[in-house]
Amino acid sequence: MNHVGPGLSTSRGRSVATSTDGGASLWWNRGDRERGCMELARMSRSDLPRLYRVASDTSRSGQRATVALTALLLLAGLASAILALAGGRDGPSWHGAADLGAALLFALATLGGAWLGGGEAQRRWYDGRAAAESIKTMSWKYVMRAAPFEDDATADGLFLERMRAILASLQHLRLAHPPPDDPHFTISPAMHALRDAPLEVKRASYIRYRVQDQIDWYQGKARRVEQLARRWRVLTVTLGAAGFAGALLRATGKIDLDALGIAAACLASITAWTQLRQYWPLTAAYRLAVNELLVISTESEQVGDDPAQWAAFCERSETAVSREHTMWRARAR
């Protein structure tokens, strides 16, 4: 095996880009280039800068903490409301226990809400995701030689400079892992190899493993989020109908249960939960992103074989992808 460049080797006429974990990240057969035959593998998570994984894992931990705590607080508040409705001075002795339980759960919800209102977990969620997506966008611009990474003489230095700026922007967060000690390990061998690969290899890799992967991800998320939105809508209508029916039954003296109060407490919790999860706005945003990416995929077929034209196309494409992440972050705020 002969070394021919950073992260790029040849074996029996085949070029191989090694990833940071030792696996092959992309390769093509030089003998088949004239026939347009090539075999590619995606630029994997391990091939992206380590700071990407730090930011992504920080975002995930912040999201899990935010969602789990919010669910706990809503359940505590709901249980407190139901126990308060069931309690009272008149009636069996367990009414007093219900009042005490309602008070304790309400105190728990209040304290937890105050902690959640501090926003530390949400900042890790939003800022970590914004940083991770910025790093991914920069990495694809780098390997595609898109602006501002066209010039080999300045590309590495500029990339590392921007990575250090992103790292500095994360210093206020409690990171999931220690940040990388040596910025020179930021650009992986696979990134160098894909940057130096023939244009047809870069084109196929970008369309399949950047544009199409994004389309598949957004389509899957849009379907899933829309399903959840519809389920919560059905539950909301069902609870509203049950509360109305319970109120009529209580008004006619057929039951003594405050079904309307219980339904109202449940609906308030559901409203708070769906506001956090943003099901319908996210569905619309994901579908808009899919449409934009489909346009980008179509435009890619019209780009010629000029490397400068391809780099300009990738720069426009990444700008469109970044716009969705910027809009998501603005909605999250």
pLDDT reading at 36 higher than 90: no
| Segment 148-173 mean pLDDT | 93
The per-residue pLDDT for range 170-209, each reduced to its tens digit, is 988 888 887 766 655 589 999 999 999 999 999 999 999 9
pLDDT for 319 equals 87
Dihedral over alpha carbons 244, 248, 254, 259 (to 10 degrees): 30
Higher pLDDT, 44 or 267: 267
Please state, in angstroms and rounded to a whole number, the distance separating the CA atoms of residues 16 and 3. Answer: 10
The per-residue pLDDT for range 270-289, each reduced to its tens digit, is 999 999 899 999 999 899 98
| Segment 140-165 mean pLDDT | 95
pLDDT for 90 equals 58
Out of 85-99, 129-143, 253-267, pick the least confident.
85-99
Please state, in angstroms and rounded to a whole number, the distance separating the CA atoms of residues 303 and 223. Answer: 31
The per-residue pLDDT for range 10-31, each reduced to its tens digit, is 333 344 444 444 433 444 444 4
pLDDT above 90 covers what percent of the chain? 49
Q: Six-digit token pair at 128?
A: 């970590």
pLDDT for 21 equals 42
Q: How confident is the model at residue 322 (pLDDT cuts 50, 70, 90)?
A: confident
Mean pLDDT (the chain) is: 81
Q: How confident is the model at residue 324 (pLDDT cuts 50, 70, 90)?
A: low
37-51, 105-119, 298-312, range with greatest mean pLDDT = 298-312
| Segment 156-179 mean pLDDT | 89
pLDDT for 332 equals 55
pLDDT reading at 136 higher than 90: yes
Write the CA distances from 160 to 151, 163, 185, 186, integer angstroms.
Answer: 14, 5, 10, 7
Write the CA distances from 229 to 108, 219, 224, integer angstroms.
Answer: 28, 15, 9
- Using an 8 Å Cβ cutoff, are 99 and 30 in contact? no
pLDDT for 8 equals 38
pLDDT reading at 61 higher than 90: yes
Q: Six-digit token pair at 296?
A: 């980008």
What total number of domains does the chain contain? 1
pLDDT reading at 42 higher than 80: no
Please state, in angstroms and rounded to a whole number, the distance separating the CA atoms of residues 276 and 272. Answer: 6
pLDDT reading at 227 higher than 60: yes
- Using an 8 Å Cβ cutoff, are 127 and 61 in contact? no
The pTM (predicted TM-score) of the whole model is 0.78
The per-residue pLDDT for range 84-129, each reduced to its tens digit, is 776 655 556 656 677 777 778 777 777 777 766 668 888 899 999 9
Range of the domain at 126: 2-332
| Segment 295-305 mean pLDDT | 91
The beta-strand segments (E) located in the chain are 2-5, 8-11, 14-18, 24-29
- Using an 8 Å Cβ cutoff, are 193 and 50 in contact? no
